[in-house]
Structure 1
């Protein structure tokens, strides 16, 4: 049985929303994974009582320390080795769990992913991706969205391969179309990075490259996977989040706009490391936690990391 580790102390609403998310997941799962709850027993155990979880459904692992949101990631992981994030990564690295999810300190999660479980062979840089809801009801993927602010053409070329594998296995897109995010459709457009990346993507036989995509194409169905540097991708991601918040605050309701709610997707996977690591938003509530668990479950079941490794080596 697969084992999924959950940082119970990560996020603005920990541990109560994590508990609610677990309850939601257990109630809706046909066959639930075994959950390994990592956190302060004094805070978590009293909240577990009303859930009536069976002993075979979860394991509690005590972690007396918490890495706060604004702590320096590397220093915090080194100094707080009894924190929920540090212990979670130790469990992942030693094979005690198959995936690890957290809505805690993003930097600490990224540092943990890079240094505790290592990158896959051949990966120049791991990446994080975001779901892009398309206007026609389809779903796209944008990467990188913040892990790599500065990139080389070779990095974007690998992001295209990793994004394609993820789109095939998690989004169910059989032959994903890949585009380079750019300021014009024509080959030769863009900054130095875009100009140097285009020929690499064009020659890459592991992807279906369809050329450049402009900002106005992002929400249309021009491509399934769009690649860019993390600086650009993060600005797009944060803009999308703010537009969703504005529409919500002004009580503007539409099925399409609802698809921009991050809670629907749970979290962002780190692609290019050897085991599934899911990073959630700090303001994650129950729905997001439940969806993070489901995403981790799907990544384990589909063997996404091994498929990424095979594709990159090939």
Structure 2
């Protein structure tokens, strides 16, 4: 199994990416291989400097880099030999089983939609955000940024694909699905959330428990939290800020430490024909390592194929 990693993506690339790949290589199963994609003349000296002599990491040359501030669609068109374009090319051709990058988020999303494409039957692929739970482990919230506005049928489908991720990657046997809303009562919310509630309530593919409120984020009321990308992104960034504030005040707790982006490494793109994970732009070696390990779980659980089976796509 091969996990492609964008060596040039992120504010501290390629140094942080190469170090993260080395950390991940120590923990991956022996049948996994990391493909470091980027400028060979920068990556190879780093591997040599860090004393790597193993066989689990291979370098694939890509001469171009999509910078953080570039327009995603334009950059992918104008830079076909960029590390992101090459990574998605490998994923599409089946030469990699997952692709990870801490680079340009927009380019990662556009690349997914125009290379491996959405799974047939999936209306809108989503970005999932892992949510720490007070009782231990994680739940998943989607969407956290790919789709700012969502129709009721899209929110309903988020409940379905989130349940698949929760069951097969997070090992939650019967995930509970909650719809983020401004009240628990069935009639609360916007026109879209009210309609989504009605659809989820009768959907046999999800274990829907009703509306949840912001205070239910970290308890065990729901394992899959459904919301539009506008709401989810605000919640995600606020949660990250809680960790930053506590860290600045030198206050540490095992639960709040899970709010640190490094703990999970990245956010999966769900509902596409392949496994892709987007890392934080300021990813450290630890974050890169955990992003790769998350991709390994997605590959091992056969996640993208499960989306196809769920929608009937062949």
TM-score, normalised with respect to structure 2: 0.96
Equivalent residue runs for 1:7-86 within 5 Å: 7-31=6-30, 33-54=32-53, 56-86=55-85
How far, CA to CA, are the matches of 1:146 and 1:195 in structure 2? 21
Could you tell me which residue of structure 2 aligns to residue 285 of structure 1? 284
- How far off is 1:28 after superposition? 2.8
- How far off is 1:299 after superposition? 1.0
Could you tell me which residue of structure 2 aligns to residue 295 of structure 1? 294
How far, CA to CA, are the matches of 1:235 and 1:140 in structure 2? 17
SS of equivalent to 1:131: strand
How far, CA to CA, are the matches of 2:109 and 2:28 in structure 1? 29
Could you tell me which residue of structure 1 aligns to residue 303 of structure 2? 304
Verify: 1:258 aligned to 2:257, yes or no: yes
Q: Deviations over 1:267-300 (max 9, x none)?
A: 1110000000110000111111111111111111
Equivalent residue runs for 1:115-264 within 5 Å: 115-264=114-263
Verify: 1:91 aligned to 2:93, yes or no: no
- How far off is 1:51 after superposition? 4.2
On the 8 A contact 1:138/1:221 being kept in 2, the answer is no
SS of equivalent to 2:272: coil
- How far off is 1:56 after superposition? 3.6
- How far off is 1:135 after superposition? 2.1
- Structure 2 unpaired stretches of 5+: none
SS of equivalent to 1:171: coil
On the 8 A contact 1:161/1:312 being kept in 2, the answer is no
- How far off is 1:82 after superposition? 1.5
How far, CA to CA, are the matches of 2:128 and 2:70 in structure 1? 24
TM-score, normalised with respect to structure 1: 0.96
- How far off is 1:256 after superposition? 1.1
- How far off is 1:68 after superposition? 0.6
- How far off is 1:64 after superposition? 1.5
Superposed CA RMSD in Å reads 1.3
Q: Deviations over 1:220-251 (max 9, x none)?
A: 21111110110000000111111111111111
On the 8 A contact 2:25/2:34 being kept in 1, the answer is no
